[in-house]
Chains A and B, each alone.
Chain A
Amino acid sequence: MNTTFVKTLLEPVSGLLLLAGLVLWFAGTWPLLGRRSFLHKLHYLGIADTLGSALMLLGLLLRLNREWPLLLLALLSLVVWNTIFGYVLASCS
């Protein structure tokens, strides 16, 4: 398989994923500044810290595919850790 072809294909996809992650980060973090209840903000925070960061790591996975074991480990721990941390914050509220 032609590597430059794969590279030209993967680069924009990876860029899009990184951008989408960044959009989710800002969209999920902005409501934290508002006056809603703690749990209401936590719903939004889940979008930013888990889903947004997961998209960014997927983007990085396509870009730096030589480092895939560490990035996959980071992705797994990020998804599990952030979700359970959200649960801990919610159950402590």
Chain B
Amino acid sequence: MARLITVALRLLIWLLLSADITLINFLIGLLVAVLLPMGRRSRPLPPQQLLASLFSSLTAIPQAYVEAIQLLLGGKALEERLESQRFMGPRSALLVFLEVFRVTITPLTIALGIEPGGRAFRVHRLAPPLPPRQVLPGGEL
């Protein structure tokens, strides 16, 4: 599955770069995409999980513009906070990439890296200040 996605992505880049969808160019692109070395095998990827992750990454783009306006208009009132967020599904390389993309493209949150245990990643968030004596649901670092 991950292999198929890699080949499809390489083929797409080839076709966009050459701007030519004749059969011969398509075949050359397919050949190049298959022959280029692949990354090491990652864990198997359930298609449902992949679709859900892809969907939430795509919906993060309009969400990013909403957050950009929030940050530009009310950025002074927001405070910095470190949180830890659990991975939604199994830790396949593609899912981790999509998750990091989803968190980092929205201007109010930035992914900082994976925690030593590997089960969650650190997120730097700009958010309205919490009322005193309230504990975060995700657990503060």
- A binding-site residues for B, Cβ under 8 Å: 24, 27-28, 31, 37, 39-40, 42-44, 46-47, 50-51, 69-70, 72-73, 76, 79-80, 83-84, 86-87, 90-91, 93
CA distance A72 to B15 in the complex (A): 11
Q: Does B17 contact A (CB under 8 A)?
A: yes
- Chain B residues 12-43 with CB under 8 Å of chain A are 13, 15-17, 19
Q: Does B11 contact A (CB under 8 A)?
A: no
A46: chain B residues within 8 A (beta carbon)? 64, 104-105, 107, 110
* Interface of chain B: mostly helix, strand, loop or mixed: helix
Q: Contact between B110 and A42 (Cβ–Cβ < 8 Å)?
A: yes
B112: chain A residues within 8 A (beta carbon)? 39, 90-91, 93
Q: Contact between B16 and A83 (Cβ–Cβ < 8 Å)?
A: no
A79: chain B residues within 8 A (beta carbon)? 61, 105
CA distance A28 to B75 in the complex (A): 11
A39: chain B residues within 8 A (beta carbon)? 80, 110, 112, 124
CA distance A81 to B102 in the complex (A): 13
Q: Contact between A69 and B111 (Cβ–Cβ < 8 Å)?
A: no
A80: chain B residues within 8 A (beta carbon)? 101
Q: How far is the CB of B3 from chain A (nearest CB, A)?
A: 19
Stretch in contact with the other chain, from B46-54, B65-73, B86-94, B133-141: B65-73
- B binding-site residues for A, Cβ under 8 Å: 13, 15-17, 19, 61, 64-65, 68, 71-72, 75, 80, 100-101, 104-105, 107-108, 110-113, 124, 126
Given contact pairs A39-B80, A43-B126, A73-B17, A91 touches B72 in the complex (Cβ within 8 A): no
Given contact pairs A43-B108, A91-B112, A73 touches B71 in the complex (Cβ within 8 A): no
CA distance A70 to B16 in the complex (A): 6
Residue of B nearest to A71 (CB): B16
